């Protein structure tokens, strides 16, 4: 053990041995068959590029790699909106539903066909033209999950105007920061958004943001709730007024031919501390990458499937797998405006039943919430239409994986655990559901045409069994083309640890079968007595205990072991902890992983601190564990959660001192 810990950047001890081969009938009809892995890199991406996309002018070169910058499908001309909308209507599929939109207030629903989408997009693009938007004009979008959000994005791409969508939960400061960084001239928003039965004033926040973002000259406001909304004369325009007198004839607003490498959008990703990075995605590689992965990983059957990615379009997951990938593949999707627990905790399952959803894609944090609430909510509904489940955003604990499969997938459906990042644009490590033998907690294999590896500190490949840094050795079509306005930061963040090799910032290990296990962000790795232990392994051991719903683990300084493990645990059904429970959980971890991973202490808490996209903020837990002043809490979904945890942690210490 001592020897391995010197060799490997991260030690791994948690062994999960359950396996799930693909069901026979699924395998027989799957879009991706085993031979897909044998296609050489160039051939694979060349073929997908030619066949999946309609080009105005075909590309002449597959890719160019001048590290750290790549270009793909050089010389090609295309339009993303044309590929996602117009060509489907021209092919006679205008009557196919693109989105079954389900509003948060019950009964508020709309089916939007590809023909409807085309009309809406053409009208709105014509409206934007009236405001001076043209090829190259940067546009900001700050909306909730309404159908007009994809309409706005597609209208921008139709005109060749790059967009940045800012998640509707962000503050005025976050919004103005992004508007200024991208130099947006137009901002599209809505009066208010529905959130858990109450109204959130997006336009009000947009007003505050625009006060600090003087470059924004026009603001378009969609009426969603109908509440009184102050409009600034000359700057603000109602969406319905602008589209009132424009044409919906596609000829009136043809799709702008764009170069393969023209900017499509920026997606800002907040590191946990520093200024958000504007991640650059361009046109052709992004569209090929997202549509190809969407087709094979979700095994999409155009005329049979009802696909639901339950993310928010304000994140990269929504861009790639609600809007661009699925629409390019002429998918019928569900688009849901609200939260999973409104008006009750069975809302998602009622939606699955109502639209007979066949494919559901969500995040571990959502699955763990459903686990915490209990399976009875899912049991109230007929979920038999589901045939495939997906997970993204964090490593999924094996117990959450099993729960998802048993209670949502009737112990029948494959689960695709898809690893990727805002920066990668598309999924890179994932099972193919008709081919791959699944292991709960493992993202399994590189997608065809993707070449990752696990490296040690020195840049040697770590063999099977060992842990290290996840890297990508070759470029891929949807990869980021840089950080907007900051070449140096791009080089420093992703390309400086190893020469010409992309550093993902995640720990990973490869097992004896060549399957990848993601171990969380590198910054979260703990060092106990010289052993590098990943937080996810200890968390998974805790969640493996039948009474634990969620766990977050971090380390604190310890004079003996260097670092000691501290665990924050939420019990199922809101149960309170006890000294006995604490001992039981410590022993459980010891049994699952080994005594070295036993948490030095455990704090029981009703909630864990999470970002708005649902990632646990271990940095703040480290501050609490080390009695430090709390760092930046502005990216927390609910800032009061850490105060509560800090209080519980200090109560516990006081009790210990007394005992
Ligand atoms: C980080 C990227 C990409 C869409 C949503 C998140 C973690 C993502 C997995 C997975 C283990 C995962 C990684 C990654 N992550 N998917 N299947 N297994 N970890 O995008 O906000 O850019 O976050 O999310 O740590 O680096 P993002």
In a domain, 592, yes or no: yes
What is the rounded distance in angstroms from the CA atom of residue 425 to the CA atom of residue 329? 17
Which residues are within 8 A (CB) of 561 and not within 5 positions of it... i.e. 6 or more apart? 528, 529
What is the rounded distance in angstroms from the CA atom of residue 155 to the CA atom of residue 124? 6
Whole-number Å distance, alpha carbon 394 to ligand 1 midpoint, is 5
Q: Which atom of ligand 1 is nearest to the CA of 504?
A: 26
Q: Map residue 376 onto helix, strand or coil.
A: helix
Q: Map residue 7 onto helix, strand or coil.
A: helix
Whether the CB of 393 sits within 6 Å of ligand 1: yes
Hey, what are 285's tokens? 């590689």
Closest to 228 in 3D by CA, of 192, 188, 197: 192
CATH at residue 577: 3.30.300.30
Peptide bond into 343 cis (omega under 30): yes
Q: How many CB atoms lie within 10 A of CB 527?
A: 15
3-state secondary structure 328-358: HCCCCEEEECCCCCCCCCCHHHHHHHHHCCC
DSSP annotation string for 126-146: HHHHHTT--TT--EEEE--S-
Query: What pLDDT was estimated at residue 120?
Result: 98
In a domain, 187, yes or no: no
Whole-number Å distance, alpha carbon 421 to ligand 1 midpoint, is 5
Whole-number Å distance, alpha carbon 269 to ligand 1 midpoint, is 12
Whole-number Å distance, alpha carbon 279 to ligand 1 midpoint, is 15
In a domain, 639, yes or no: yes
| Cα-based angle 194, 198, 200 (whole degrees, multiple of 5) | 60
Residue 5, pLDDT > 60, answer no
Pairing of strands 452-455, 467-472: antiparallel
417-430, pLDDT tens digit by residue?
999 999 999 999 99
359-398, pLDDT tens digit by residue?
999 999 899 889 989 999 999 999 999 999 999 998 899 9
| Cα-based angle 56, 60, 66 (whole degrees, multiple of 5) | 120
Which residues are within 8 A (CB) of 448 and not within 5 positions of it... i.e. 6 or more apart? 32, 36, 37, 39, 44, 296
Q: What is the mean pLDDT of residues 208-227?
A: 98
Hey, what are 594's tokens? 């080994």
Whether the CB of 401 sits within 6 Å of ligand 1: no
In a domain, 617, yes or no: yes
Candidate of 404, 420, 540 to mutate for ligand 1, largest count of ligand atoms within 8 Å of Cβ: 420
297-342, pLDDT tens digit by residue?
999 999 999 999 999 999 999 999 999 999 999 999 999 999 999 9
Whole-number Å distance, alpha carbon 610 to ligand 1 midpoint, is 14
* Residues 176 and 167: beta-carbon distance below 8 Å: no
In a domain, 571, yes or no: yes
* Confidence grade of residue 3 (pLDDT, cut at 50, 70, 90): very low
Whole-number Å distance, alpha carbon 549 to ligand 1 midpoint, is 21
Q: What is the mean pLDDT of residues 512-540?
A: 87
Query: What pLDDT was estimated at residue 272?
Result: 47
Closest to 141 in 3D by CA, of 154, 158, 132: 154
Name the domain count of the chain. 1
What is the rounded distance in angstroms from the CA atom of residue 583 to the CA atom of residue 73? 58
In a domain, 355, yes or no: no
614-654, pLDDT tens digit by residue?
888 888 899 999 988 877 777 788 888 888 888 888 777 66
Whether the CB of 392 sits within 6 Å of ligand 1: yes
Whole-number Å distance, alpha carbon 389 to ligand 1 midpoint, is 17
- The closest residue, in CA terms, to atom 12 on ligand 1 is 394
Bridge partners (DSSP) of residue 38 are: none
| Pairwise pLDDT comparison (612 vs 199), residue with the higher score | 199
The beta-strand segments (E) located in 367-521 are: 388-391, 415-417, 452-455, 467-472, 502-510, 516-521
The parent domain of residue 604 ranges over 545-658
Q: Map residue 300 onto helix, strand or coil.
A: coil
Query: What pLDDT was estimated at residue 6?
Result: 42
Hey, what are 42's tokens? 């160039």
Bridge partners (DSSP) of residue 195 are: 198
- The closest residue, in CA terms, to atom 14 on ligand 1 is 421
DSSP annotation string for 148-179: HHHHHHHHHHHHT--EEE--TTS-HHHHHHHH
237-246, pLDDT tens digit by residue?
999 999 999 9
Query: What pLDDT was estimated at residue 592?
Result: 83
Candidate of 165, 310, 320, 393 to mutate for ligand 1, largest count of ligand atoms within 8 Å of Cβ: 393
In a domain, 640, yes or no: yes
Query: What pLDDT was estimated at residue 2?
Result: 35
* Confidence grade of residue 465 (pLDDT, cut at 50, 70, 90): confident
Query: What pLDDT was estimated at residue 271?
Result: 57
- The closest residue, in CA terms, to atom 18 on ligand 1 is 395
Q: Map residue 237 onto helix, strand or coil.
A: strand
What is the rounded distance in angstroms from the CA atom of residue 478 to the CA atom of residue 566? 38
Query: What pLDDT was estimated at residue 195?
Result: 92
* Confidence grade of residue 207 (pLDDT, cut at 50, 70, 90): very high
Closest to 147 in 3D by CA, of 340, 405, 335: 335
Q: Map residue 116 onto helix, strand or coil.
A: helix
- The closest residue, in CA terms, to atom 2 on ligand 1 is 421
Whole-number Å distance, alpha carbon 319 to ligand 1 midpoint, is 15
In a domain, 234, yes or no: no
Q: What percent of the chain has pLDDT over 90?
A: 78
Pairing of strands 236-238, 218-222: parallel
Whether the CB of 441 sits within 6 Å of ligand 1: no
Whole-number Å distance, alpha carbon 391 to ligand 1 midpoint, is 10
What is the rounded distance in angstroms from the CA atom of residue 467 to the CA atom of residue 470? 9
> At CB < 8 A and 24+ separation, what contacts does 128-133 make?
128/155, 128/156, 128/159, 128/161, 128/186, 128/220, 129/159, 129/253, 130/242, 130/246, 131/186, 131/217, 131/218, 131/220, 131/237, 131/242, 132/185, 132/217, 132/218, 133/159, 133/161, 133/185, 133/186
Q: Is 418 exposed, middle or buried (0-12, 13-18, 19+ CB in 10 A)?
A: buried
Q: What is the mean pLDDT of residues 575-587?
A: 91
Whole-number Å distance, alpha carbon 528 to ligand 1 midpoint, is 25
- The closest residue, in CA terms, to atom 8 on ligand 1 is 393
Closest to 468 in 3D by CA, of 420, 418, 423, 518: 518
Query: What pLDDT was estimated at residue 1?
Result: 32
Q: Map residue 590 onto helix, strand or coil.
A: helix
Query: What pLDDT was estimated at residue 567?
Result: 96
Closest to 114 in 3D by CA, of 91, 100, 98, 92: 98
* Confidence grade of residue 268 (pLDDT, cut at 50, 70, 90): very high
92-130, pLDDT tens digit by residue?
999 999 999 999 998 999 999 999 999 999 999 999 999
């Amino acid at each position: 053990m001592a020897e391995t810990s010197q060799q490997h950047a991260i030690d791994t001890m948690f062994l999960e041995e359950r396996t799930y081969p693909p069901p026979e009938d699924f395998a027989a009809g799957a879009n991706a068959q085993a031979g897909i892995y044998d296609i050489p890199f160039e051939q694979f991406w060349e073929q997908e590029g030619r066949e999946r996309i309609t080009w105005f002018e075909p590309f002449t070169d597959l890719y160019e790699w001048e590290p750290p910058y790549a270009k793909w499908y050089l010389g090609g001309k295309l339009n993303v909106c044309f590929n996602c909308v117009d060509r489907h209507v021209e092919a006679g599929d205008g009557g196919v539903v693109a989105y079954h939109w389900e509003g948060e207030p019950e009964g508020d629903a709309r089916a939007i066909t590809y023909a409807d989408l085309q009309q809406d997009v053409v009208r709105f693009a014509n409206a934007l033209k009236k405001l001076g938007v043209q090829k190259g004009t940067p546009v900001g979008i700050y909306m909730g999950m309404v159908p007009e959000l994809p309409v706005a994005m597609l209208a921008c791409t139709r005109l060749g105007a790059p967009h940045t969508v800012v998640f509707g939960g962000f503050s005025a400061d976050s919004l103005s920061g992004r508007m200024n960084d991208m130099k947006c001239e137009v901002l599209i928003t809505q009066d208010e958004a529905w959130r858990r039965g109450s109204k959130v004033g997006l336009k009000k926040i947009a007003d505050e943001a625009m006060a600090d973002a003087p470059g924004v000259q026009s603001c378009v406001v969609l009426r969603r709730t109908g509440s009184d909304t102050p409009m600034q004369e000359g700057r603000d325009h109602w969406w319905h007024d602008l589209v009132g007198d424009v044409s919906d004839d596609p000829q009136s607003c043809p799709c702008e031919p764009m170069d393969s490498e023209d900017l499509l959008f920026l997606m800002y990703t907040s590191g946990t501390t520093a200024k958000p990075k504007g991640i650059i995605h361009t046109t052709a590689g992004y569209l090929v990458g997202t549509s190809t992965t969407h087709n094979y990983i979700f095994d999409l059957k155009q005329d049979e499937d009802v696909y639901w990615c339950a993310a928010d379009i304000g994140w990269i997951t929504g861009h790639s797998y609600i809007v661009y990938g699925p629409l390019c593949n002429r998918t019928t999707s569900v688009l849901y405006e609200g939260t999973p627990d409104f008006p009750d905790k069975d809302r998602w399952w009622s939606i699955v039943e109502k639209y007979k959803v066949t494919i559901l894609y969500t995040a571990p944090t959502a699955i763990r919430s459903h686990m915490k609430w209990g399976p009875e909510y899912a049991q109230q509904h007929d979920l038999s239409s589901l045939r495939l489940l997906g997970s993204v955003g964090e490593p999924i604990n094996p117990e959450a994986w099993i729960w998802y499969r048993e209670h949502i997938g009737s112990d029948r459906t494959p689960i695709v655990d898809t690893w990727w990042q805002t920066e990668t644009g598309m999924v890179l490590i994932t099972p193919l559901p008709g081919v791959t033998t699944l292991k709960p907690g493992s993202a399994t294999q590189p997608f065809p045409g993707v070449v990752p590896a696990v490296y040690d500190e020195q840049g040697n490949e770590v063999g099977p069994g060992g842990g290290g840094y996840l890297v990508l050795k070759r470029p891929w079509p949807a990869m980021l083309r840089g950080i907007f306005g900051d070449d140096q930061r791009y080089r420093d963040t992703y390309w400086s640890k190893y020469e010409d090799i992309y550093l993902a910032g995640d720990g990973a290990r490869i097992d004896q079968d060549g399957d990848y296990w993601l171990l969380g962000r590198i910054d979260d790795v703990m060092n106990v007595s010289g052993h590098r232990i990943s937080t996810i392994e200890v968390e998974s051991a805790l969640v493996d205990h039948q009474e634990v719903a969620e766990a977050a683990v971090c380390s604190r300084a310890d004079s003996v072991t260097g670092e000691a493990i501290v665990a924050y645990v939420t019990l199922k059904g809101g149960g309170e902890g006890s000294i006995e429970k604490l001992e039981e959980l410590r022993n459980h971890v010891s049994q699952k992983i080994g005594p070295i991973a036993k948490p030095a202490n455990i704090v029981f808490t009703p909630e864990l601190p999470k970002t708005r996209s649902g990632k646990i903020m271990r940095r703040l837990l480290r501050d609490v564990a080390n009695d430090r002043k709390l760092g930046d809490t502005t990216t927390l979904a609910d800032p009061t959660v850490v105060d509560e945890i800090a209080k519980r942690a200090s109560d516990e210490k006081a009790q210990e001192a007394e005992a």
